């Protein structure tokens, strides 16, 4: 993680430590001029082009009140020509995967562990455009680009949703606070705070979201991990079987033996760490890596990497726990000589030259798979 920072305009003059202590996961925070001079990272036309790509997750939301319509991309250019002048919103996920400036913006939030970071979503809304009053189950920063958006929030306990709506829209919304955000302003919201954003004019909002898996998702993933890694010896046997009065009954002796066999399932903290690293670094199902069109030879890669350094592909996740490292769902244990440099790469997502020779050997297959790039910074 980056070295501790002092007061940060991004956090309204709070230091990251104080923000985490007093605000994170606890209360909303409005931050005026969080990113001075910020006007956004792309134009509406560029965003429409992204929404037409089949490798980009996009959605189109139309409506207001209790009447909503949701369409999923990829879209065609003609889809946008039929739209009205008001009350629609285009959403594009994982902008950081395709736009270096978005990846750089996301890096400013490195006071939150990378394992918790999800992606950067951008929304473009015409006047009156919205996704309705709703709540998220995760923390989110809402950074305003071009235009203005009115945000209303509520800490209401009533989180009942509209029936048969294509989106999770709240049935009732009681406004407690309200602000209009302009370029560079940002609103932080902890989980389950109801919020309702409506475009005052044509505007773009950048949402920095965080992963918050449910207990059920983690338990299911861990059980799948155990299934793949656990090996138990033995087989059910009953050499002392006795005649049962009811052949249809599952006898006590059978239940006891099954219970004893299942009780052999054990796991340690290391097992949990291995699962967590693999699970939290695993790319989403819709994320794919592309190998370089004209990959460098190993010798040329070594020369370029040692002159320019390397950087993780924006889609890659490199995490570590103790001596164990995880990248894109795979795990490995490096040598001590490699570990310090790999930690720097995990923290900063880039590694300046020169590189240890052993790391060049490790990095080359990552480069061939599209996980790693020669640093162009």
Give the model confidence (pLDDT) of 244-260 as tens digits. 999 999 999 999 999 99
User: Which residues are within 8 A (CB) of 285 and not within 5 positions of it... i.e. 6 or more apart?
Assistant: none
The top-level CATH class assigned to 298-374 is alpha beta
Q: How much is the pLDDT for 356?
A: 85
How many residues can be counted in the chain? 377
Does 277 score more than 60 pLDDT?
A: yes
Topology given in CATH for the domain delimited by 9-210: Jelly Rolls (2.60.120)
Q: Residue 5: which pLDDT band, with cuts at 50, 70 and 90?
A: low
pTM (two decimals): 0.91
Q: Are 155 and 190 in contact (CB under 8 A)?
A: no
Q: How much is the pLDDT for 2?
A: 45
Q: Residue 1: which pLDDT band, with cuts at 50, 70 and 90?
A: very low
- The string of pLDDT tens digits covering residues 33-74 is 999 999 999 999 999 999 999 999 999 999 999 999 999 999
- The string of pLDDT tens digits covering residues 70-116 is 999 999 989 999 999 999 999 999 999 999 999 999 999 999 999 99
| Cα–Cα dist 12/30, whole Å | 8
Give the E-state strand segments of the chain in sequence order: 29-31, 58-64, 67-72, 88-92, 117-125, 140-144, 149-154, 177-181, 186-189, 194-199, 203-210, 310-312, 318-321, 324-327, 330-332, 350-351, 372-374
Q: How much is the pLDDT for 357?
A: 84
Domain parsing of the chain, residue ranges: 9-210, 215-281, 298-374
Does 24 score more than 90 pLDDT?
A: yes
For 286-299, what is the mean pLDDT? 93
Does 264 score more than 70 pLDDT?
A: yes
Question: Above pLDDT 90, what percent of the chain?
Answer: 93
Across all residues in the chain, what is the average pLDDT? 94
Q: Are 87 and 64 in contact (CB under 8 A)?
A: yes
In Å, what is the CA distance from 174 to each residue of 157, 178, 181, 196? Answer: 10, 11, 20, 10
Q: How much is the pLDDT for 352?
A: 95
User: Which residues are within 8 A (CB) of 22 and not within 5 positions of it... i.e. 6 or more apart?
Assistant: 14
Q: Are 50 and 73 in contact (CB under 8 A)?
A: no
Q: How much is the pLDDT for 337?
A: 87
In the chain, what are the helix, strand and coil shares in percent, each to the nearest 5? 30, 25, 45
String of DSSP letters for 42-88? S-HHHHHHHHT-TTS-EEEEEEETTEEEEEES---HHHHHT--SSSE
């Amino acid at each position: 993680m980056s070295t501790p920072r002092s007061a940060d305009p991004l956090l309204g003059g709070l230091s990251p430590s104080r923000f985490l202590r007093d605000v994170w996961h606890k209360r909303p925070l409005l931050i005026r001029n969080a990113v001075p001079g910020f006007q956004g990272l792309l134009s509406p036309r560029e965003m429409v082009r992204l929404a037409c790509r089949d490798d980009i997750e996009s959605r189109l939301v139309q409506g207001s009140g209790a009447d909503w319509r949701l369409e999923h991309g990829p879209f065609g250019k003609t889809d946008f020509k039929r739209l009205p002048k008001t009350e629609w919103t285009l959403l594009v996920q994982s902008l950081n995967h395709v736009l270096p400036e978005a990846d750089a913006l996301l890096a400013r939030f490195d006071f939150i562990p990378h394992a918790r970071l999800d992606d950067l979503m951008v929304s473009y809304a015409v006047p009156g455009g919205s996704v309705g009053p709703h709540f998220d189950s995760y923390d989110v920063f809402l950074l305003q680009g071009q235009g203005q958006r009115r945000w209303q929030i509520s800490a209401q306990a009533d989180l009942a949703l509209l029936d048969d709506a294509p989106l999770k829209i709240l049935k009732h919304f009681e406004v407690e606070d309200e602000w209009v955000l302009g370029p560079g302003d940002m609103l932080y919201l902890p989980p389950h705070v109801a919020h309702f954003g409506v475009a005052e004019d044509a505007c773009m909002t950048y949402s920095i979201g965080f992963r918050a898996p449910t207990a059920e998702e983690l338990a299911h993933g861990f059980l799948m991990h155990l299934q793949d890694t656990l090996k138990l010896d033995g087989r059910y046997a009953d050499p002392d079987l006795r005649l049962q009065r009811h052949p249809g009954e599952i006898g006590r002796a059978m239940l006891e033996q099954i219970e004893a066999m299942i009780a052999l399932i054990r796991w340690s903290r290391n097992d949990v760490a291995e699962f967590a690293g693999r699970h939290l670094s695993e790319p989403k199902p819709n994320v794919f890596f592309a190998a370089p069109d004209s990959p460098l030879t190993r010798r040329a890669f070594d020369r370029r990497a040692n002159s320019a350094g390397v950087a993780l592909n924006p889609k890659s996740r490199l995490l570590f726990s103790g001596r164990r490292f995880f990248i894109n769902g795979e795990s490995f244990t490096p040598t001590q000589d490699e570990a310090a440099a790999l930690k720097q790469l995990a923290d900063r997502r880039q590694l300046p030259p020169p590189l240890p020779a052993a790391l060049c050997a490790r990095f080359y297959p990552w480069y061939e798979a599209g996980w790693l790039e020669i640093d162009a910074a």
